A and B are shown apart, each in its own frame.
Chain A
Amino acid sequence: MRLVEEAVPSLALAIMFVVIIYQVVMRDVFAKPPTWSDELARYLYIYMVFLGSAHTSRKQAHIRMDVLPTRLAGRARAVLMLVLELAAIGFLVYALHSGIVFYDFYRRIPSPAMEMPSGYLVAIVPVACALMTLHHAALALRHLRELRAGS
């Protein structure tokens, strides 16, 4: 899982960099702009963002306003944290479902430049949502255990 969430997006970033430099050189030096480079870089970016978000979920580093959670302590805090994790899971499950339906509907359509089946691109939504659901479920379980231990 770490491989997918850390190595793959890092590699995607590195390849994006190479592809864009290649694009600049081919266009400005050789006057032969490649047709596929723009699209490839954009798709790699989408992969990077979604898998990187799963990594962010694992590290609990998503941008949030934590005024309320830091003000609370003990049982009240554990209850709030549990509810927040469940809310995150609620959205993620909806997005997972939406992603699967969208994948089914869209997967055979070829992409404009590379003519790659779009399934490879849009599959990232359900994959990333599933990964994030797992992370937040693990967090929810931890808060639940805290609550049990406390009472």
Chain B
Amino acid sequence: MEKWVLIAVVAGSFAAGLPVAFALGLGCAVYLLLVGTIDSTIVAQRMVFGIDSFLLLSVPFFILAAEIMNTTGTTRRIFNFAHALVGHIPGGLAHVNVVNSMIFAGMSGSAIADAAGVGMMEVEAMERAGYPRPFAAALSAATSTVGPIIPPSIPMVIYGSMAQVSVGALFLGGAVPGVLMGLAMMALVYVQALRRGFPREPRVTLREFFAALAAGIPPLLAPAILLGGIYTGFFTPTEAAAVAVLYALVLGMVFYRELSPHDLPRILLRVVENTAMIMFIVTTASVFGWILAREQIPQTIAAAFLEITRNPVWMLLILNALFLILGMFMETLAVMLIFFPIVVPVAQAVGIDLVHFGVVVVLNLMIGLLTPPFGMLLFLMSGLTKLPMIVVLRELMPYIVILIVCLLSISLFPGIVMFLPNLAR
């Protein structure tokens, strides 16, 4: 009985607009009061030790590295580099948008940070060149989804810590699917550019190309350092994140000389805010997870799933459909923290590789960032560009479709994901 009250309180207060963290906490408090025999210290204990993980420490560092790069004009240099690389193709600036997001993804691990950091810059550049504003806004939202697929990735860190899977393997697993998403979106841009007559940019001279390349190479090295360091055993993912911060600091202060120590307090506070928003949910979610486990709810639901099918391919398709629907209605992190303890055992039981599963689910949830009624990237870009959501959504539809095609491909062909991690094993 108590467990139904728990679920009703969490779902009801969340839908009414209570912050996710408090909705989970309130449900747990009501549950514990009803049961009455459980020591109340479990709340404080789970809240503290739920985030007492060296792995989760990487979250603020990945955010910090991206913040420093944004403040120091590194972001602008990446844009210039992408411009020199693909600007002359039909639909030039739209391709630049895709490539720019892919390179930026190599330093940042959050789709929202990508859209907030470079989205508006991309929209303004495209609008100046004569692209329709809704198209530019939709494309910037869509391309931001590669952020957490190409390593590093905050959602993969959280998945890795919940499912006990190597974050290094997850990062490597995301690399090929991330490039695939980028190429798929560029193919779509190409078709749209020909049909709608989007402008192309003049081809740059060789000298301009090399100048942009020289300025763009340091940021391109960031993901190489990260993955190389993790895979040679030189450092753990968290240490890699701290090294990425160090790298961004050196670039900003010594190489580009655009970062002054006076900027640091403001940057640090912004990172504290962004981290606390994510991690406070983890504190109460770990109380919630403890209660779910106590009530054996994951086992019950897993058994129900296994009744439907034991075929790994069908199971993956069913779980994909489930997560696409959840992603439409709920915030990504809330979906992960609430549903991963339930579905990971299911995936494991039917023999889906948990690295493969992690990459698939994260890509799936990134599509959820684009879909109404609750799509953070859609909200963000329509808010930044002051366009009605429906107008942006209309331009976004083909991109949502092509991303779902990517999702299906990596679901059905595990090799796309597992190729690199298997090579490194």
B13 at the interface (CB under 8 A from A): yes
Assembled-state Cα–Cα distance A50/B61 (Å): 17
Q: Is the pair B20, A101 in contact by a Cβ cutoff of 8 Å?
A: no
Q: Is the pair B48, A125 in contact by a Cβ cutoff of 8 Å?
A: yes
Q: Shortest Cβ distance from B26 into chain A, in angstroms?
A: 4
Q: Specify which of B53, B245, B275 is in contact with A42 (CB 8 Å cutoff).
A: B53
With A42-B54, A48-B60, A97-B40 as known contacts, state yes or no: A10 contacts B265, CB within 8 Å.
Answer: yes
Q: Is the pair A94, B57 in contact by a Cβ cutoff of 8 Å?
A: no
B419 at the interface (CB under 8 A from A): no
B5 at the interface (CB under 8 A from A): no
Q: Per-residue CB proximity of B223-246 to A under 8 Å, as 1/0?
A: 000000000001100110011011
With A52-B272, A53-B276 as known contacts, state yes or no: A87 contacts B52, CB within 8 Å.
Answer: no
Q: Specify which of B26, B238, B276, B330 is in contact with A87 (CB 8 Å cutoff).
A: B26
Across-interface contacts of A124 in B (CB, < 8 A): 48
A115 at the interface (CB under 8 A from B): no
Q: Is the pair A24, B243 in contact by a Cβ cutoff of 8 Å?
A: yes
Across-interface contacts of A106 in B (CB, < 8 A): 45
Chain B 23-52 interface residues, beta-carbon cutoff 8 Å to A: 25-26, 29, 32-33, 40-45, 47-48, 51-52
Q: Specify which of A10, A87, A101 is in contact with B272 (CB 8 Å cutoff).
A: A10
Q: Per-residue CB proximity of A18-39 to B under 8 Å, as 1/0?
A: 0011011000100000000010
B424 at the interface (CB under 8 A from A): no
B251 at the interface (CB under 8 A from A): no
B269 at the interface (CB under 8 A from A): yes
* Total A-B pairs, Cβ < 8 A: 181
Chain A 65-103 interface residues, beta-carbon cutoff 8 Å to B: 65-69, 80, 83-84, 87-88, 90-92, 94-95, 97-99, 101-103
A121 at the interface (CB under 8 A from B): yes
Secondary structure call for the A interface: helix
Q: Shortest Cβ distance from A66 into chain B, in angstroms?
A: 5
Q: Shortest Cβ distance from A52 into chain B, in angstroms?
A: 3
B263 at the interface (CB under 8 A from A): no
A55 at the interface (CB under 8 A from B): yes
Q: Specify which of A52, A65, A88, A102 is in contact with B276 (CB 8 Å cutoff).
A: A52
Q: Is the pair A59, B273 in contact by a Cβ cutoff of 8 Å?
A: yes
Assembled-state Cα–Cα distance A20/B43 (Å): 29
A16 at the interface (CB under 8 A from B): yes
Binds A, one of B92-100, B201-209, B277-285, B293-301: B277-285
Q: Per-residue CB proximity of A45-56 to B under 8 Å, as 1/0?
A: 110111111011
Assembled-state Cα–Cα distance A45/B280 (Å): 12
With A21-B242, A24-B239 as known contacts, state yes or no: A14 contacts B268, CB within 8 Å.
Answer: yes
Across-interface contacts of B278 in A (CB, < 8 A): 63
Q: Is the pair A24, B374 in contact by a Cβ cutoff of 8 Å?
A: no
Q: Specify which of B235, B242, B374 is in contact with A65 (CB 8 Å cutoff).
A: B374
Q: Is the pair A9, B272 in contact by a Cβ cutoff of 8 Å?
A: yes
Closest residue on chain B to residue A72 by CB atoms: B17
Q: Specify which of A13, A61, A67, A122 is in contact with B277 (CB 8 Å cutoff).
A: A61
Chain B 325-353 interface residues, beta-carbon cutoff 8 Å to A: 330-331, 333-334
With A67-B374, A84-B18 as known contacts, state yes or no: A91 contacts B26, CB within 8 Å.
Answer: yes
Assembled-state Cα–Cα distance A67/B51 (Å): 29
B388 at the interface (CB under 8 A from A): no
B19 at the interface (CB under 8 A from A): yes
Q: Is the pair B239, A63 in contact by a Cβ cutoff of 8 Å?
A: no
B367 at the interface (CB under 8 A from A): no
B397 at the interface (CB under 8 A from A): no
With A13-B64, A98-B40, A98-B41 as known contacts, state yes or no: A63 contacts B273, CB within 8 Å.
Answer: no
B197 at the interface (CB under 8 A from A): no
With A10-B268, A56-B273, A95-B47 as known contacts, state yes or no: A80 contacts B17, CB within 8 Å.
Answer: yes
B423 at the interface (CB under 8 A from A): no
Assembled-state Cα–Cα distance A96/B130 (Å): 56
A62 at the interface (CB under 8 A from B): yes
Chain B 310-335 interface residues, beta-carbon cutoff 8 Å to A: 330-331, 333-334
Across-interface contacts of B57 in A (CB, < 8 A): 16, 20, 41-42, 45
B1 at the interface (CB under 8 A from A): no
Q: Shortest Cβ distance from A57 into chain B, in angstroms?
A: 9
Closest residue on chain B to residue A85 by CB atoms: B18
Across-interface contacts of B273 in A (CB, < 8 A): 52, 55-56, 59, 61
| 5 residue pairs bridging A and B, Cβ less than 8 Å apart | A42-B53, A46-B51, A63-B331, A63-B334, A88-B26
| Chain B residues engaging chain A, CB cutoff 8 angstroms | 13-22, 25-26, 29, 32-33, 40-45, 47-48, 51-54, 56-57, 60-61, 64, 234-235, 238-239, 242-243, 245-246, 264-265, 268-269, 271-273, 275-281, 283-284, 330-331, 333-334, 373-374
Nearest 4 Cβ contacts at the A-B interface: A52-B276, A62-B19, A102-B44, A94-B29
Q: Contacts A56-B280, A88-B18, A95-B29 given; 4 further ones with Cβ under 8 A? A: A45-B60, A49-B280, A95-B43, A126-B44
